[in-house]
Structure 1
Amino acid sequence: MFPKIVAVSLAAALGLLGASAPTLAEPAQEAPRSVPPTIAIIIDDMGHDLIQGQRLVAMEQPLTLAFLPYRRHTTALAEAAHRNHKEIMLHAPMANTRQFGLGPGGLDVTMDQNTTASTLRRALASIPHVRGVNNHMGSQLTQMQNNMNWVMSELVNYPVYFVDSRTIATSVAADTAAAHRIPTLTRDVFLDHEQTEEYVDRQFRLLVKKARENGSAIGIGHPHKVTVDYLSRVLPTLDEQGIAVATVSALWTLRNNNLDMFAERERLRQVQPALAGRKKD
C-alpha cells in the first residue's frame, strides 16, 4: 500500500480518490513519510466519444480530462466529470505541420493577435469548470514565438495552468507560458500512439518508471477503447505498487512544495501597481 501522508494540506492538494488514495496517518504526531511516486494522466480529445467518455468519467481515480471545444458531448461530459471529481482542461486545437484540419475553436497561423485571443477566449468559455489548457496537435504553432506569446497573453488573464503536450521537440510553448508566470508543466509520455494493449502497457510502464525516478510524471492518452480498457484494469492496482494518481494541478502543487498555484502571479499584480505609482527621483 501507499506510504501514508500526514500533511493535511498536501493530501488535500493531491486530490487522490478511491482505493488508490493515501490516508492521513493517525495519530497526528507521527513523523511525516515521503510522498509516493505520483502520476497524472491526461485524456485528450474528450467530447467526441460518449461511451468511452462516460467510462473515463466514472473511474474512481482523479484523472484530468482535456475537452475539445464545441464538440457534441463536451458540455455534458465535462459537467459529469466535474461532479465525479475529475479535473477539466481545454484541449486547444493548434496548427500542425501536417495540415490536419483543426475543427471549431482552432488556432491557425494566419490569425493575428486579436483573432487568436478572441478565439481562445470563446473556447475557454465553452468548457465548464476549466482548470487548465493543453495543445491539441500544434506541431507548427507551438514553434512560433509570436503566436505563443499571443496565446499566453490571453491565458494569463485566467486562473488556468498550461501543459505543453510537446507534439514536437522544438516547441516553445512551455517556456513561453513560464515567462508569462503561468503555472506550466510538460508531457512526459504519450500512452497510445499505437492502439494495441502491448504498446499501451509498455508506455504506461515507462510512465511509472519516470515517476519512480523523478518523483512524478505526466502521461497523455486518448479515449480509445484499448486505452480505457487498460486504465480500467490497471489503475486500481497502483496502490499495491506504491504509485499515486493525482490531477495535474495537484501534481504541480506537489512539485512546487505545496505552493498556491497562482501565488506568484498575485504577488506580481500587487507589486506592479505600487511600482507604477512611485515618483521618479
Structure 2
Amino acid sequence: MRQALNRIGLLLGLLFGVVLPAAAYDAPLLAIVIDDLGDNRARGMAAVNLPGAITYAVLPHTPHARELAIRAHQLGKEVILHAPMENKSGLRLGPGALTRGQSPAELQHVLNGNLDVIPYVVGMNNHMGSMLTEQRGKMDPIMQVVKQRNLFFLDSVTTSDTVAWKVAHEYGIPYLVRDVFLDNQRNQAYIHNQFKQALSLAVNRGHAVLIGHPYPETVAYLNKVIPILQQLGVRLVTASELLNQRSRTQLILAQPTLDPCDHAEGHCDSLPVAAKR
C-alpha cells in the first residue's frame, strides 16, 4: 500500500504539482458535479458525454432538461436537480425559482414541481442561493421535501453564512458540501489551478467535491484529465457514491472552507471570506 501511495504521489507531483502524504486510506475520491444543464443542448450533450462517473445538476423547466437527464441516465451517470434559489445580487433565476417571498407551502409546491419534471433525480443542489440558503425558515420546508423524497442534498456554498447543509444534517438527510468551483474564470490556466486544488484536497483528506459547468473550456479540460485520474490512483465517483463512503473514518465530514461564489455567469455572490476549517 505504501509503495502504491508513493507512486501516486510521484505522478501527482509530476503532472499537477500535488504532493500525496503517507496515509492509511485507500484511493482518494473525487466527485465532479456539472451544474446548469438544460438551457443549451449542444453544450449539455458535450458535458454528458464526458467519461467517468459524473453527477449532472439539471435546471428545471428548461428546454433540454428532460432530454439531457435521460441521456445522462442512459450513460450510467447521476442526475440531480439544480434548484434556483434567490441570490443577493439580483441575478435572474429562471423558471422554478425558490424565493424569500414564498410561503413554506409555496416553496414546497415549487420544489416538488421542479423535481417532477426531471427524470431519474436522486438528489439536489442549489443554483445561486446566497440569499435563501442563509435563512433557516426557508430551508426547513425545502429540506422537508428532500427528506420525503429520499434525496440527498449538496450545498453549493454560495455564501459563507449558508445554513443549508446544517439543516440537512438536522433532518437526517445525506449531504455534501462543495469544496472547489472549477471554472469561475473560463480559461485553462485558472481551471487547471482549481483542479489541482481539488486534487490536493482529495489526496490529503481522502475526498473532494468539485463543481463545474458545461462551458467548452471546462469540457475540453475534463476530457483530458479525467482519463489520467485512474493512472494516478484517484477514484472518480458520483456524489451519491461519495455519500455511501461516509461511514469510512478517513472521509472526514468538514465544513466548507473556500471563498463562496455564486457561479451563475461567473458572478461572485458575496465577498471572499476566510477559511473556516
User: How high is the TM-score relative to the length of structure 1?
Assistant: 0.79
Counterpart code for 1:110: G
Supply the distance in 2 between the matched residues of 1:257 and 1:51 (Cα, whole angstroms): 39
Matched, 1:118 2:117: no
Whether 2:224 is the aligned partner of 1:224: answer: no
Give the residue type in structure 2 aligned to 1:46. Answer: L
Matched, 1:141 2:132: yes
1:18-97 map, 5 Å: 34-97=25-88
Residue 256 of structure 1: aligned partner? 247
CA distance in structure 1 between the partners assigned to 2:94 and 2:44 by the alignment? 19
Q: Across the two proteins, how many residue pairs are aligned to each other?
A: 229
- Provide the rounded CA distance (Å) in 2 between the counterparts of 1:232 and 1:41: 13
Larger radius of gyration: 1
Alignment of 1:127-276 (within 5 A): 127-257=118-248
Distance in 1, Cα, partners of 2:167 & 2:56:
23
Letter of the aligned partner of 2:115 in structure 1? L
The one-letter code matched in structure 2 to 1:192 is D
Normalised to the residue count of structure 2, the TM-score between the two structures is: 0.80
Structure 1, unaligned stretches of length 5 or more?
4-32, 259-281
SS in 2 for 1:156: helix
- Distance between the aligned counterparts of 2:162 and 2:53, measured in 1? 28
**In structure 2, distance between residues paired with 1:74 and 1:185:** 23
Please report how far the alpha carbon of residue 34 of structure 1 lies from its aligned counterpart in structure 2 after TM superposition.
4.7
Identity of aligned residues (%): 37
> C-alpha displacement at 1:242, in angstroms?
1.3
The alpha-carbon deviation at position 60 of structure 1 amounts to 2.5
**Which blocks of at least 5 consecutive residues in structure 2 are unaligned?**
5-23, 250-277
User: By how many angstroms is 1:252 displaced?
Assistant: 0.8
Equivalent residues of 2:31, 2:239 under 8 A apart: yes
C-alpha distance in structure 2 between counterparts of 1:45 and 1:181, whole Å? 27
* Whole-Å separation in 2 of the counterparts to 1:47 and 1:143: 26
Equivalent-residue separation in structure 2 for 1:153 and 1:237 (angstroms): 40
